[in-house]
Chains A and B, each alone.
Chain A
């Protein structure tokens, strides 16, 4: 018997975990649909559509970020929550599956299912509301580019077709980072997982930002840049940030796995 990974056993584990986690996932998904539909309905009332402007659909970007953060973090933070309660922890630890299978199962539900299902949900809600608006309204603008060509802008475009979404490609790792941090929080803390994880992020975030500002100010105060232009290129800065973000994500996943292995009941 392979005690590290067995695909049949992993399949069984996915089915078994659905009994526990499925309910949390479906409730969260239901709430998400409700919240998105509510925000779209409030923002796209007949009255608002009468005075349609280029800003009418600008609510979508903060809505996408806030609900996305909440959905991804709640799903990740709920997964190992049961290990904080001894009776639940005993039953789950003793399921005949390896630690790596149990961890991959968490990644499957919170990441592989969680994030795409959020994107799909947002896409479908946006598609249905925007399609109905586009069926009755049009709002375009235009400008002439440097070649003298007229460019038409469609202000009623679908969310995932907007330039803003494409321009933020350097932040695509952020949902993975959120997943890893909250997954770690769910296994690290015994109770009040979400609040404790959120407070920890805030404390570490504030410490990180203030210490970075302090160190950089000390290093660069009254100095002149004489090196190459690598650090003055915005693209390079974002690349390094993404790299740090991905490394932190991998580190948090690894620590979560170790915590899972060491979890006692």
Chain B
């Protein structure tokens, strides 16, 4: 679905954000995009949606070049930005003006999502809270039936019950035809939802692996003492939370936060495992 080849991008020529980045993303997956502040998560998403232009390299999204902003591609992209604007109208007027651009827009599904998110339909969009507005654009985006769903920090601003609803909705929205990319700092919000982890660091992809692949190669567990087999460990109340090679094919649950810190701290040690 998405092919990125030797992507070079930077907001200024002297400070590149991506250097010769290459990656392939397929449909039927929910990708979790992780990275430190300023690593380029949002920028990568914007490159995919054609909101910014690469300095060099090629981007192929469903056979289109996103930089050309062709309607055929735009109607297949659902982009939920971290900061967004909604006009001063009610939901009905918003839908009436925007939904016709998407020929597969599912009005019933939208109504169901709005009901599930408990969004007040009589209120003007501009008077809604940030969380409520976010629910509206998430519902709208998913109802477009777009094949590429891009979400930048989608759980920011959502209350605790809404985060659970969001996970449930996203899991049900996943189809074999869809590719969902979610950028987030709130890794625990998206636990069990993401099936592939993409980690950005130092102008490139530090890790791209499925959850299965990670748990097959690494094991995450609590240990009392650190030994040489441990690649990375963090102190915890009862000892250490550790990441180590999974030589015994043990089953463990991926601790995304621990993995994130481990990759950033010990990138060289992880590289041979996932190359």
Which residues of A come within 8 Å of B, CB atoms?
1, 3, 6, 9, 12, 15-16, 18-20, 23, 82, 85-91, 93-99, 261-262, 264-265
Interface residues of chain B, those whose CB is within 8 Å of chain A, are 46, 49-53, 68-72, 74-75, 77, 79, 81, 83-89, 93-94, 97-98, 100-102
The main secondary structure of chain A at its interface with chain B is helix
Cβ contact of A3, chosen from B70, B84, B101, cutoff 8 A? B70
Please indicate the chain A residues that have their CB under 8 angstroms from the CB of B88 in the complex.
23
Docked CA distance A96–B145 (Å): 14
| Contact for B84 among A19, A23, A90, CB less than 8 A | A90
B83 close to A96 (CB less than 8 A): no
A-B contact pairs, 17 of them (CB 8 A): A15-B97, A18-B97, A19-B87, A82-B85, A85-B85, A87-B83, A90-B51, A91-B84, A94-B51, A95-B98, A96-B74, A96-B75, A97-B71, A98-B71, A264-B46, A264-B53, A265-B51
Kindly list chain B residues whose C-beta atoms are within 8 Å of the C-beta of A98.
Answer: 69-71
User: Are the C-beta atoms of B87 and A99 separated by less than 8 Å?
Assistant: no
A136 to B71, alpha carbons, bound, how many Å?
60
Least distance between A86 CB and chain B CB atoms (Å): 7
> Nearest CB to that of A261 among chain B residues?
B69
> Are the CB atoms of A264 and B102 closer together than 8 Å?
no
B49 contacts which chain A residues (CB < 8 A)?
A: 94
* Closest Cβ neighbor of A90 among chain B residues: B81
Closest Cβ neighbor of B98 among chain A residues: A16
Most buried by A among B69, B84, B97: B69
Cβ contact within 8 Å between A96 and B52: no
Specify which chain B residues have a CB less than 8 angstroms from the CB of A82 in the assembled complex: 85
Q: Which residue of B lies closest to A82 (CB)?
A: B85
Contact of A19 with B89 in the complex, beta carbons under 8 Å? yes
Cβ contact within 8 Å between B101 and A96 = yes
Whether A93 lies near B69 (C-beta < 8 A) is yes
- B76 nearest in chain A by CB position: A96
Instruction: List B contacts of A89 (CB < 8 A).
Output: 51
Q: Provided the pairs A16-B98, A87-B84 are in contact, do residues A3 and B71 lie with their beta carbons within 8 angstroms? A: yes
Do A95 and B51 have beta carbons less than 8 Å apart?
no
Residues of A within 8 A of B77 (CB): 94
B136 to chain A, nearest CB (A): 12
Give bound CA distance, A263 to B72, whole Å.
Answer: 19
A251–B72 alpha-carbon span in the complex (Å): 29
Contact of A265 among B52, B89, B101 (CB under 8 A): B52
Q: Which residues of B contact A90 (CB under 8 A)?
A: 51, 79, 81, 84
Report Cα–Cα, A190/B72, bound state, in Å: 29
Q: How far is the CA of A19 from the CA of B94 in the complex (A)?
A: 8
Residues of chain B lying within 8 A (CB to CB) of residue A6: 71
A88–B97 alpha-carbon span in the complex (Å): 16
Nearest first, the 8 closest Cβ-Cβ pairs linking A and B are A96-B74, A96-B75, A3-B70, A87-B85, A16-B97, A88-B85, A96-B71, A96-B101
User: Quick one: which of B68, B71, B93, B98 contacts A9, CB cutoff 8 A?
Assistant: B71
**Bound Cα distance from A82 to B85, whole angstroms:** 10
Q: Nearest CB to that of B52 among chain A residues? A: A264
Give the chain A neighbours of B83 by CB distance below 8 A: 86-87
The CA of A189 and the CA of B87, in the complex, are separated in Å by 22
